[in-house]
Amino acid sequence: MRTRLEQSWEEGSGLYAWLTSTSHKSIAKRYIVTALAFFVLGGIEAAVMRVQLSRPENHFVGPDLYNQIFTVHGTTMMFLFAVPVMEAIGLYMVPIMIGTRNVAFPRLNALGYWMYLIGGVLLYVAFFANTGPDAGWFAYVPLAGPAYSPGKRIDIWAQMITFTEIAGLIGAVEIITTVFKQRAPGMSLNRIPLFVWSEVIMSFMIIFALPAIVVASGALAADRLVDTHFFNPAEGGDALLWQHLFWFFGHPEVYIILIPALGMISSIVTTFTRRSIFGYPAMVLSLISTAFLGFSLWVHHMFATPLPQLGQSLFTAASAAIAIPTGIQIFCWLATIWSGRPRYTTAFMFVIGFVLLFVLGGLSGVMISSIPYDLQVHDTFFVVAHFHYVLIGGAVFPLWGAFYYWFPKMTGRLLSERAGKWNFWLFFTGVNLTFFPMHFLGLMGMPRRVYTYLPEMGWGNLNLVSTIGAVVIAASVIVFIGNVVVSLRGGIAAGDDPWGASTLEWATPSPVPIYNHLFIPIVNGREPLWTNPPGELPVVTGLRTDRHEGLITSLMDAEPEHRYEFKQPTILPLILALAGGGSIIVAIFTPWGVTIGAALTLLILFCWFWPTISPDHDTLRQRPRETR
Amino acid sequence: MQCESAVRNSVIALAIALNACSGIQSALDPKGPKAAGVLHLTWFLVGTATVVYVVVVAMLFYVLRRGSRSSVDLDHELGTEIIEHDRGMKTWVVAGTVLTTIILIGFVFVDLSTARSLSTVGGAEPLRIDVVGHQWWWEVKYPDPDPQNDIETANEIHVPVGRAVLIKMKSGDVIHSFWAPNLDGKKDLIPGHETVTWFRADTIGVYRGQCAEFCGYEHAKMAFYVVAEPRIEFERWLAQQRAEASTPGDSLAQDGERVFLSSSCAMCHSIAGTGAGSNNGPDLTHLASRRTIAAGTLPNNAANLEAWILAPQTIKPGAKMPANRIDPGSLRALVAYLQGLK
Amino acid sequence: MKRRPAFDAAALPDQGFSHHAPIWWGNALMMMIEGAGFAILVATYFYIRHNFDTWPPARTQLPDLPIPTLNVAILVVSILPMWYVAKLALKHDKPRTIGGLLLLCVVFGAVAAVLRIFEFKAVHTRWDTNAYGSIVWSILGIHFAHIIAATLETLILGILMFFGPVEEKHYVDITVNAVYWYFVALSWVGLYAVIFLLPRFI
């Protein structure tokens, strides 16, 4: 059985196999490695900024380069690191955790990665050619418009958005469809692991938030390239329209990043306290409320604009309210720990770090939901402190915990716990050293996005402390990379289930075979590996091994419905990405890119959708039950 | 409240240690009622947030300790049932949620009442000022019912102490933000919109403000000063600003005036009473009465003026003012002329 | 890990229709994405409205009604053959019949696409005239892309019905394609109302 599965799923090695792969793990691994590479690049940009700001009137970099650097830093971290990595961990782990063999649309998944890669490369090629965008990651108009940002810098930014948003939307479609229709029999909605819930909820947020930035960046590109007037006040356009469109996406974006991290925390807490998370329904509902509320906050980025006060006040209330579901999550985790026995693995340490950092950031967030207070600290380093605490504390720390937790599953080897503790403490110390002083700097009058400041402002000392903190963070990242490199070769062998965990991914060998589970498991509780007799699992038999076959189950109760064929490896996703991506890039320089590109794209889509003929194609004889 | 002042005192101690409390551009050193109101709110927010944080962290360490000492034999226990039926646990979680909600409602209530109390323009007939934001300087006008009395200056605002000031703002290019933290929170200047803000300075002094919305290359060097002075001195300043440019005192300054009018300076800068009337750049009629040049970048003195005129791009790269090829003699004359424009 | 066989999937069918099929969900999610995009465009339309004293802006005629109304009618009517095709596909009717009907749907789509070109003229403004022109052309243009894509997909399926070996899953694809067509047609009803009717009232 195993050999038959291996033979039919085997993709081979070599460049062509790599380029044509439709394995969700292979694609997700690429996403993760690429996202981490962007994280390092973004970190280097941060380091340069910190060096420049460490002393007043410093001359490490001049204004033009500094402005590109802070723009590319924000753009990289938000678009090229945070969302892709959160989706990628999902694309890797979710199919295994729900007991299926691949995501619903394997070729589409591959397309998503290539689009993401092309977009990121586009940005960095431009940046290294001194044509990097320089109007901030938020690209406010009219500064980012045709009149005040001549040249191609912002066009490149706007088109890069197109790539990353397509990839993001593709990932969301994959996750939702896969979780809705491919769960192991018996995994009803109330038995889905909380991490899987968080990925689904994140994906729905992506579905509704990303169209806003697609429209916004499209309108910006149009204003710049073909003279539309969306943001031109002289012809009825509006600079504030950009802000509404951008932040309608931008605020949900941070919850898109946060919510999967909250799911990771649940997985880690369950395993390392050996307790099922307390209050499962409350946990799911609070994730869903956070997602909904996340769409109602965007104006809090616009308190200094001339919007009516009464309207703005509603956003104060909503921005404060969103702390409630997150609070519920934290209380439930605390309850879980209380009645379990914590094991202080590195992953669990990152959970503790998460609580300490994220709650602090959340509280500074509640502070700035207050309009009068915000009007003093908006666009100052206080806000920089706030969002780094919630993003690093709330998303990066859980992510690092997830790395330590799932690395053995992905690679078959454990990361060094000793190096892990160094990683954690350096990171935790560094984050506090870097960002805590910034709360004061903001109140002391230091605005954001300034490449230098005068000595008499008195900001020099705190900035220096902050830069030292950045060095400590860099050290922790180096420790992490070293840990990964060394453990990949010589780490302790992990086995199927080194942690004694409860969810399905630990029921299969490490590293995970290409077909995930030998037999599709059947589930009878939330923690299947704890509720079945140890070492025993009921499974599904009867799926074909001569083609890539999986099981489709019903939405609510995961009852088996029919069999499903996953698409096999093909070069089409790469070709479509190159053609479609190429035309998007060419469109920066000439409108013909759109027409020629559209034609080329359609041609490739034609090949893509040309229905494939199965080897045994007279399945017409086999009529399905008419399922309604 | 005792807690509040305890927090406040410890933060103040820390701040003094960090040299934070007094500052000419600091929200922690209010010089007017709006900034003072926000600072009160700040202490409330910081105080409550600190208490909440300490409680949450304490809870975390408590449960970690309790869990570590748990005598439950977990290897042989199933994880789910015990917690599902633990009523006590549920009560705690619900209590925590309710408490969180109450605190947040309290926050929002205090926020909204603070906002309301700060929104009514305090005091009688406010002084009217118009500000137009440019890349990277502030155009300041004092409109008067009689247009003859209109004043135009740049990067420096004078206000009488104790009187409300109402500022109407526009942008000449991109979004800027007007922010003098000692006096008030910020307000954006948005092309296509007119925005309004007000403040009142209650203490004599000079306060620094800075553009707080990224506006391009030299966003970092777009500062302005607010000079709050007694009413009599303010009236004197107004009268001085209303006058036309002083005629050059000596021959050096006269040469300087000639240099100004015959070179490219006059293409961007206006000096009332001469032929120069362009407003691409700041009005220079009373340049010598200002404390700084280049929007707060350099103190206003002869040496800095010479350096700025000769090579603005080395001081503020990207500034719209080009380098000027001018021989040292003419430069000295020009600066002498400009320094006479009080 | 000991595995206890507890369910035999061999007897399960190869395909499922409607919401039982993953492709149906892929399509549903795509409609949500594009629907969200349309909603944002409509919101932008109303936002821009506030920046003008009159609507359409001064010196711009009201959009014509004849051809646009004809086109929205054609799109709505085109739902009927598409619905019938889907019904036949569910019953696994003869491929040639289905193929023929699909080609009829393609004709509807092609006509709608051609008429759309005239609709660009019917709004009496250009994309670069002012913000009104920009948003109106954007809505027209993006929906135009939808008509083209959906018509081409229908064409592919139609051709397949005539030439290829026809399989079960192609019938599923046809029903899902029909749902997408309903989306393209019905979304235009709302967008038509915004572009062509609303300026007469607001």
CA distance B73 to chain A (A): 9
Which positions in chain A touch C160 (Cβ < 8 Å)?
A: 610-611
Establish if A595 touches chain C: CB-CB under 8 angstroms. Answer: no
Mean pLDDT score across all residues of chain B? 90
Reading the block at residue B194, the tokens are 């007119």
pLDDT for position C165: 82
Task: Quote the distance between the C-alpha of residue B65 and its chain's center.
Answer: 48
Per-residue pLDDT tens over the stretch A252-280: 999 999 999 999 999 999 999 999 999 99
* Percent share of chain C, pLDDT over 70: 100
Residue C180 resides in a domain: yes
Test the B interface: residue of A341, A368, A531 with most B CBs within 10 Å: A341
Q: Compute CA distances B15 → B10, B45, B183, whole Å.
A: 8, 17, 19
Q: Which of C188, C152, C162, C185 is nearest to C83 (CA)?
A: C185
| CA atoms within a 13 Å half-sphere pointing along the CA-CB vector of A10 | 11
Would you call A240 and B18 a contact, using CB atoms and an 8 Å cutoff? no
Chains that touch C (3 or more CB pairs under 8 A): A
Strands of chain B, DSSP E: 127-134, 137-142, 151-154, 156-160, 164-171, 176-178, 187-189, 195-200, 205-210, 223-229, 292-293, 298-299
Per-residue pLDDT tens over the stretch A535-567: 789 999 999 888 899 999 999 999 999 999 999
Test the C interface: residue of A225, A552, A566, A618 with most C CBs within 10 Å: A552
Would you call A177 and C26 a contact, using CB atoms and an 8 Å cutoff? yes
Q: Is the pLDDT of residue A496 over 80?
A: yes
pLDDT for position B15: 61
pLDDT for position C3: 86
ipTM score of complex: 0.96
pLDDT for position B8: 67
Which positions in chain C touch A245 (Cβ < 8 Å)?
A: 40, 44
A458: left (phi over 0), alpha (psi -120 to 50) or beta: left
Residue C196 resides in a domain: yes
User: In chain C, how many domains are there?
Assistant: 1
Which positions in chain A touch C156 (Cβ < 8 Å)?
A: 606, 609-610
Of A182, A562, A618, Cβ closest to residue C15: A562
Test the A interface: residue of B56, B65, B297 with most A CBs within 10 Å: B56
Q: In this structure, are residues B129 and B157 in contact, taking their beta carbons and an 8 Å threshold?
A: yes
Residue C112 resides in a domain: yes
pLDDT for position B21: 65
Establish if A436 touches chain B: CB-CB under 8 angstroms. Answer: no
For residue C165, give its domain range. Answer: 61-200
Would you call A324 and B101 a contact, using CB atoms and an 8 Å cutoff? yes
CA distance C8 to chain A (A): 5
Per-residue pLDDT tens over the stretch A8-19: 898 888 999 999
d(CA A180, CA C29): 12
The larger pLDDT score, comparing residue A198 to residue B66, is at A198
Which positions in chain A touch B111 (Cβ < 8 Å)?
A: 316, 369-373
CA distance B219 to chain A (A): 7
Would you call A538 and C34 a contact, using CB atoms and an 8 Å cutoff? no
Of A181, A508, A617, Cβ closest to residue C22: A181
Residue C29 resides in a domain: no
pLDDT for position B7: 63
| CA angle, B316 then B320 then B321, to 5° | 80
Which positions in chain A touch B101 (Cβ < 8 Å)?
A: 324
Of A176, A560, A565, Cβ closest to residue C29: A176
Per-residue pLDDT tens over the stretch A345-376: 999 999 999 999 999 999 999 999 999 999 99
Establish if A202 touches chain B: CB-CB under 8 angstroms. Answer: no
pLDDT band at residue C51 using 50, 70 and 90 as cut-offs: very high
- Domain with residue C130: its CATH number is 1.20.120.80
Test the A interface: residue of C18, C20, C49, C138 with most A CBs within 10 Å: C20
Lowest model confidence (mean pLDDT) among A40-54, A270-284, B108-122, B180-194: B108-122
Would you call C3 and A551 a contact, using CB atoms and an 8 Å cutoff? no
Of C16, C153, C164, Cβ closest to residue A552: C16
Mean pLDDT score across all residues of chain A? 94
Chains that touch A (3 or more CB pairs under 8 A): B, C
pLDDT for position B82: 45
CA distance A419 to chain B (A): 23
CA distance C95 to chain A (A): 11
Would you call C4 and A537 a contact, using CB atoms and an 8 Å cutoff? yes
Of A369, A376, A502, Cβ closest to residue B38: A376
Establish if A62 touches chain B: CB-CB under 8 angstroms. Answer: yes
Q: In this structure, are residues A265 and A398 in contact, taking their beta carbons and an 8 Å threshold?
A: yes
Instruction: Report, as an integer, the average pLDDT of C114-120.
Output: 97
Lowest model confidence (mean pLDDT) among A35-44, B61-70, C188-197: B61-70
Q: Compute CA distances B93 → A328, A334, A338, B98, whole Å.
A: 7, 9, 12, 9
Closest residue on chain C to A209 (Cα): C36
Of A214, A238, A617, Cβ closest to residue C47: A238
CA distance C76 to chain A (A): 25
Instruction: Report, as an integer, the average pLDDT of C120-131.
Output: 96
CA distance A413 to chain C (A): 19
Chains that touch B (3 or more CB pairs under 8 A): A
Of A233, A342, A359, Cβ closest to residue B192: A233
Which positions in chain A touch B100 (Cβ < 8 Å)?
A: 323-324, 327
Q: Is the pLDDT of residue B6 over 80?
A: no
> Which residues 441-500 of chain A have a CB within 8 Å of chain C?
496
Residue C19 resides in a domain: no
pLDDT for position B4: 56
Establish if A419 touches chain B: CB-CB under 8 angstroms. Answer: no
| CA atoms within a 13 Å half-sphere pointing along the CA-CB vector of A254 | 26
d(CA B281, CA B232): 30
Which positions in chain B touch A363 (Cβ < 8 Å)?
A: 49, 52-53
Test the A interface: residue of B12, B101, B187, B219 with most A CBs within 10 Å: B219
pLDDT for position B89: 84
Would you call C3 and A177 a contact, using CB atoms and an 8 Å cutoff? no
Would you call B188 and A305 a contact, using CB atoms and an 8 Å cutoff? yes
Establish if A369 touches chain B: CB-CB under 8 angstroms. Answer: yes
d(CA A58, CA B74): 58
Chains A, B: CB pairs < 8 Å: 273
Residue C42 resides in a domain: no
Q: Compute CA distances C55 → A455, C42, C139, C198, whole Å.
A: 54, 15, 17, 9
Residue C20 resides in a domain: no
pLDDT band at residue A624 using 50, 70 and 90 as cut-offs: very low
C-beta atoms surrounding C103 within 10 Å: 17
Ordered alpha helix ranges (H), A497-571: 528-531
Q: In this structure, are residues B326 and B309 in contact, taking their beta carbons and an 8 Å threshold?
A: yes
Q: Is the pLDDT of residue B16 over 60?
A: no
Which positions in chain C touch A214 (Cβ < 8 Å)?
A: 37
pLDDT band at residue B1 using 50, 70 and 90 as cut-offs: very low
Residue C108 resides in a domain: yes
pLDDT for position C98: 95
The burial of B141, by beta-carbon neighbours within 10 Å (0-12 exposed, 13-18 middle, 19 or more buried), is given as middle
**pTM for the model:** 0.95
Please state whether beta strands B164-171 and B151-154 pair in parallel, antiparallel, or not at all (unpaired).
unpaired
pLDDT for position A285: 98
Residue with tokens 């394995």: A23
Per-residue pLDDT tens over the stretch B71-122: 555 555 554 444 455 678 889 999 999 999 999 999 999 999 999 988 887 6
CA distance A211 to chain C (A): 5
pLDDT band at residue A625 using 50, 70 and 90 as cut-offs: very low
Would you call C16 and A227 a contact, using CB atoms and an 8 Å cutoff? no
